[in-house]
C-alpha cells in the first residue's frame, strides 16, 4: 500500500516506522524542511524519536504537493489546532478523491468539531471516505516494536479493513469499528483526565487517588461520548479505557507530564513553553467543558481541570472540591 503521512511529529514518525515494517511505501511530510532533509540523510528524525531508524521505504518531504500526489490514502497526524489549516493548504493539490485517516486526538476549540467534521467541511467533494486511528499507542513503544493494539473506525468498512491489513503485524494489531464518533471522542477527552492524573502525582498522592480518578474519569468521558452518538462498548475498549489507562499511568504521556508539573506548582505557561510536543488535553479541556455544558452532561473532573488550566485555580483546591461534592449513587438508574 502507498501511504502519505501528513505530520512528522513523534506519532507520525511512529506510524511511518510501523507501516514501512509491514512492507508499505511511505511519504512522510514534515512542516520543517530541515527535518525532512535530516530524515533523508540519516534515516532518523532529529527532533521526534531520534533513536528510531526509519526504513528506506520511508521518503521524507516538506512539499505538501508531493505528499498529496503520492497516495490517495492520507494519514493526518497534526495537532488539532493546525488540522484545518493543513487541510486547506492541501486542497489545491488534490486531483482526485482521497481517503483521510486521522490520528489526531483533539476537538477544535472554536467550533467544537471533531476532526471528522472538520475534514468533511474542508474537503467536501474531494473526500472519498474518513477513518480514525486511535488506542493506547505511545509513539516510541510502537516504533521500536513493542506489542501494541489499536482501533481503526470508519463508516467505510472497506477503508477500515484496508488500513487494518496494511498496518497489522506480529507487533502491531489493529481492530476495526464503525463508531467514528466514539473513537474520536474517547481519544480526545481522555487527555483531560490524563492531565488530572499527572496533577495527582505532582501533589504526591498515591495509587488510591489515581485509581479513583481513572474510574470516575472513564464514567464522565463515556457519558458525554454516548450523548453525542458514541457507543458504550467503544468507551470500554482500546480507544476508551485502554488509552485512558495508558495516558494516566505511563511516564511517556505528554498530558500526564504537564499535570505532574502543575501539581508541583509550576505555572502552565512555563510548562508549555519548555516543550516542543503538544499536550492536547490543555486545549481539549475547554472544548470538553463547553460540550458538556451544551448537552447538560455533568463532568466534574473535566470542569475542575478547566478551572486549573484556564482560570488559575489551585490543583489542591480542585481536588478538595471533587472530594466534597454531594454524595450520590455510583451509577444512575
What's the rounded Cα separation, in Å, for the pair 310 and 306?
Answer: 6
Give me the torsion for CA of 85, 90, 92, 93, rounded to 10°. 170
Grid-cell match 488530572, residue found: 196
Which helix (H) or strand (E) segment is 189 a member of?
helix 180-202
- CB-based contacts of 312, cutoff 8 Å, min separation 6: none
Cell of 284: 481539549
Tracing cell 518531504 back to the chain, one arrives at: 61
SS (H, E, C) 202-255: HCCCCHHHHHHHHHHHHHHHHHHHHHCCCCHHHHCCHHHHHHHHHHHHCCCCHH
Sort 312 into a burial class: Cβ within 10 Å, 0-12 / 13-18 / 19+.
Answer: exposed
> What is the rounded CA–CA span in Å between residue 316 and residue 78?
33
Cα(192)–Cα(255) distance, rounded to whole angstroms? 8
Question: Is 289 known to be catalytic?
Answer: no
Q: Are strands 58-61 and 2-6 parallel, antiparallel or unpaired?
A: unpaired
Supply the DSSP string of 248-281, one letter for each residue.
HH-TT-HHHHHHHHHHTT--HHHHHHT-SS--HH
Q: Which of 190, 223, 286, 289 is catalytic?
A: 190
| Upper half-sphere CA count for residue 299 (Cβ side, 13 Å) | 31
Active site residues: 190
Amino acid at each position: 500500500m502507498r501511504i502519505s503521512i501528513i505530520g512528522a511529529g513523534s506519532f507520525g514518525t511512529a506510524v511511518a516506522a510501523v507501516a514501512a515494517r509491514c512492507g508499505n511505501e511511505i511519504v512522510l511530510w514534515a512542516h520543517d524542511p530541515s527535518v525532512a532533509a535530516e530524515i533523508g540523510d540519516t534515516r532518523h528524525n532529529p527532533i521526534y524519536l531520534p533513536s528510531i531508524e526509519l526504513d528506506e521505504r520511508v521518503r521524507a518531504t516538506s512539499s505538501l504537493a508531493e505528499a498529496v500526489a503520492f497516495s490517495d490514502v492520507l494519514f493526518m497526524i497534526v495537532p488539532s489546532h493546525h488540522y484545518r489549516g493543513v487541510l486547506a493548504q492541501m486542497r489545491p493539490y488534490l486531483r482526485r478523491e482521497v481517503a483521510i485517516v486521522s490520528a489526531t486526538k483533539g476537538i477544535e476549540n472554536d467550533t467544537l468539531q471533531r476532526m471528522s467534521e472538520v475534514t468533511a467541511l474542508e474537503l467536501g467533494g474531494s473526500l472519498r471516505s474518513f477513518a480514525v486511528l486511535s488506542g493506547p499507542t505511545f509513539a516510541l513503544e510502537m516504533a521500536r516494536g513493542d506489542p501494541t493494539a489499536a482501533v481503526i473506525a470508519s463508516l467505510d468498512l472497506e477503508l477500515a479493513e484496508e488500513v487494518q491489513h496494511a498496518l497489522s503485524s506480529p507487533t502491531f494489531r489493529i481492530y476495526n469499528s464503525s463508531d467514528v464518533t466514539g473513537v474520536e471522542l474517547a481519544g480526545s477527552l481522555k487527555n483531560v483526565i490524563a492531565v488530572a492524573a499527572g496533577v495527582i502525582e505532582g501533589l504526591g498522592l498515591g495509587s488510591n487517588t489515581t485509581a479513583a480518578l481513572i474510574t470516575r474519569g472513564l464514567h464522565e468521558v463515556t457519558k458525554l461520548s454516548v450523548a453525542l452518538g458514541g457507543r458504550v462498548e467503544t468507551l470500554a475498549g482500546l480507544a476508551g479505557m485502554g488509552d485512558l489507562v495508558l495516558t494516566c499511568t505511563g511516564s511517556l504521556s505528554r498530558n500526564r507530564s504537564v499535570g505532574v508539573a502543575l501539581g508541583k506548582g509550576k505555572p502552565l505557561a512555563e510548562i508549555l513553553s519548555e516543550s516542543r510536543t503538544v499536550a492536547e488535553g490543555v486545549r481539549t479541556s475547554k472544548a470538553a467543558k463547553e460540550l458538556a455544558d451544551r448537552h447538560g452532561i455533568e463532568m466534574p473532573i473535566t470542569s475542575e481541570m478547566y478551572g486549573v488550566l484556564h482560570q488559575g485555580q489551585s490543583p489542591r483546591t480542585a481536588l478538595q472540591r471533587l472530594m466534597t461534592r454531594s454524595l450520590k449513587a455510583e451509577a444512575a438508574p
